[in-house]
């Protein structure tokens, strides 16, 4: 095992230098191999940190991940030859049990059959080589989605606590707000960096939070010398089910809102002949005051920022850090991975999109990438070059959430363990792969604590 780790380190050192200047296609594949799972064509020793993270969660019985795996194994594809039901033997750390568990995880985690077949064909994945223990000199700035309590939020709280304990990484929650414009939330992300970050840092965005973080990044990079100084220690970014390229829900919702206003005007016109001028002016004043209110401005601004046109405007004028690698998590839902409360909007988005049938209930998989899809310019090309696109996972848009959405959980959701999906995979593999390639530095003298076992 030591020889394999030494070989992996030897390969990663020159690759780390390439990451800062914009990785080429072969390096994208090599990085993704470390982040997701093994790819035999690349011919170097590495390990899938996403699979390792989930495997360790299972073995250590973290949260309710074993219940989730047991539920998912009952919905495997017909050609799957592995275990169909979880048992105590599956959690053992013996080589045979780990190999069986890895095979199960490949089946339930990855959406594309080609990915599952490719990952199973590489024997290196069975070695379960995880990133060595140690603390990182790093701070995570967390920007959550449309509905959030900002600084007081609880999204992935247990994962963030384990991150602090095992990797010494502090998480700063940006005080973003529900149904606020992207510029407002970007200012909150910038304030979090300015007031609470003292180390090299990176951001993790969830849904609309990705747009907020990208906008904050552009504001700081293009701003005053003081703002630009904040970006000097910026290292990398992680996108969770990104809505930075817009969503069909928002685009169609914006169109429906406009049609409603037009139809409302037509409806009111019929009363002009029977209403006094004073009454008409009063009605118009009330309508104008309602549409000009702070609440209406925030709601309309938030919806507009999530439309495809709003995303295009954001990308058109932005500049972003081209030396920071981007990783992301994208999902596609299936009948057994859609929470019952999201069934309606999952079906609605399929009716609203004529360009994709693969979505996580709120964002098309083709748009949940870490680079612009609606515009072509130098900045978009730079972001595309540092976008390490990962494999598509079999999960839904609310995968990072649990306690926040339990009030809408149904009996069907409980049977399928819909909100018990492994949470550590949203953050740990991102940080560990960046540490593996030298983007994130380790703290000296603090790398001797025990492995997670």
pLDDT in tens, 261-290: 788 778 878 877 788 888 878 877 887 787
Residues with Cβ within 8 Å of residue 164, at least 6 apart in sequence: 170, 171
> Which strand (E) or helix (H) includes residue 274?
none
Q: What is the pLDDT of residue 255?
A: 86
SS3 329: strand
Contact between 170 and 109 under an 8 Å Cβ cutoff? The reply is: no
Where would I find the H helices in 174-293? 182-196, 208-221, 225-231, 248-269, 277-292
Strand ranges inside 265-348, DSSP E: 326-329, 331-332
SS3 148: coil
| Distance in angstroms between the alpha carbons of the first and the last residue of the chain | 17
Phi and psi of 236, rounded to 5°?
Answer: -165, 170
d(CA 151, CA 195) in angstroms, rounded, equals 13
d(CA 389, CA 328) in angstroms, rounded, equals 7
Contact between 222 and 166 under an 8 Å Cβ cutoff? The reply is: no
Alpha-carbon Rg of the chain, whole angstroms?
A: 23
Exposed/middle/buried for 394, CB within 10 Å: 0-12, 13-18, 19+?
buried
Q: How many CA atoms lie within 13 A of 448 on its CB side?
A: 2
Which residues of the chain fall short of a pLDDT of 50? 1-23, 38-46, 448-453
Single pTM value for the model = 0.87
Q: What is the pLDDT of residue 124?
A: 63
Q: What is the pLDDT of residue 389?
A: 86
> Which strand (E) or helix (H) includes residue 164?
helix 157-167
* 375-433 pLDDT tens trace: 999 999 999 999 998 899 999 999 999 999 999 999 999 999 999 999 999 999 999 99
Q: What is the pLDDT of residue 35?
A: 86
Sign of CA dihedral 316, 317, 322, 324: negative
Give the residue extent of every domain in the chain.
2-127, 249-305
SS3 139: strand
Phi and psi of 308, rounded to 5°?
Answer: -65, -35
* 10-26 pLDDT tens trace: 344 344 444 444 446 77
> Which strand (E) or helix (H) includes residue 166?
helix 157-167
Q: How far is CA 238 from the centre of its chain?
A: 6
Helix axes 49-59, 95-109, angle to 10 degrees: 120
DSSP assignment letter at 151: G
């Amino acid at each position: 095992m030591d020889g394999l780790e030494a070989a992996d380190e030897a390969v990663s050192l020159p690759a780390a230098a390439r990451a800062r200047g914009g990785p080429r296609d072969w390096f994208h594949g090599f990085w993704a191999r470390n982040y997701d799972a093994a790819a035999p064509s690349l011919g170097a020793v590495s390990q899938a940190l996403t699979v390792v993270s989930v495997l360790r969660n299972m073995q250590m019985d973290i949260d309710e991940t074993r219940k989730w795996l047991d539920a998912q194994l009952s919905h495997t594809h017909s050609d799957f030859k592995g275990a169909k039901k979880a048992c105590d033997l599956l959690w053992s750390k013996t080589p045979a049990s780990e190999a069986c568990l890895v095979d199960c995880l490949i089946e339930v985690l990855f959406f594309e059959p080609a990915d599952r077949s490719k990952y199973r064909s590489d024997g290196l994945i069975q070695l379960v080589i995880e990133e060595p223990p140690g603390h990182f000199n790093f701070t995570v700035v967390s920007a959550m989605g449309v509905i959030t309590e900002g600084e007081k939020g609880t999204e992935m709280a247990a994962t963030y606590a384990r991150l602090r304990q095992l990797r010494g990484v502090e998480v700063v929650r940006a005080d973003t707000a529900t149904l606020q414009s992207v510029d407002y939330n970007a200012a909150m992300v910038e304030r979090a960096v300015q007031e609470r970050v003292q180390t090299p840092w990176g951001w993790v965005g969830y849904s609309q939070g990705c747009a907020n973080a990208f906008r904050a990044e552009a504001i700081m990079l293009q701003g005053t010398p003081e703002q630009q100084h904040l970006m000097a220690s910026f290292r990398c970014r992680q996108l969770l089910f990104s809505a930075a390229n817009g969503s069909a829900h928002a685009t169609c919702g914006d169109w429906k809102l406009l049609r409603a206003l037009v139809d409302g005007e037509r409806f009111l016109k019929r009363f002009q002949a029977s209403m006094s001028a004073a009454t008409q002016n009063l009605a118009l004043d009330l309508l104008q005051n309602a549409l000009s209110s702070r609440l209406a401005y925030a709601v309309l601004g938030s919806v507009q920022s999530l439309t495809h046109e709003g995303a295009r405007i954001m990308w058109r004028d932005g500049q972003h850090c081209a030396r920071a690698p981007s990783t992301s998590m994208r999902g596609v839902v299936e009948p057994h991975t859609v929470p019952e409360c999201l069934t309606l909007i999952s079906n609605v988005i399929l009716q609203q999109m004529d360009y994709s049938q693969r979505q996580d209930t709120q964002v098309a998989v083709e748009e949940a990438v870490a680079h612009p899809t609606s515009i072509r310019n130098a900045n978009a090309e730079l972001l595309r070059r540092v976008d390490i696109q990962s494999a598509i996972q079999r999960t839904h848009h609310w995968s990072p959430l649990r306690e926040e959405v339990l009030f809408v959980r149904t009996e069907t959701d409980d049977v399928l363990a819909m909100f018990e999906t492994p949470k550590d995979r949203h953050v740990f593999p991102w940080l560990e792969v960046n540490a593996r390639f030298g983007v994130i530095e380790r703290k000296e003298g603090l790398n001797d604590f025990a492995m997670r076992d």
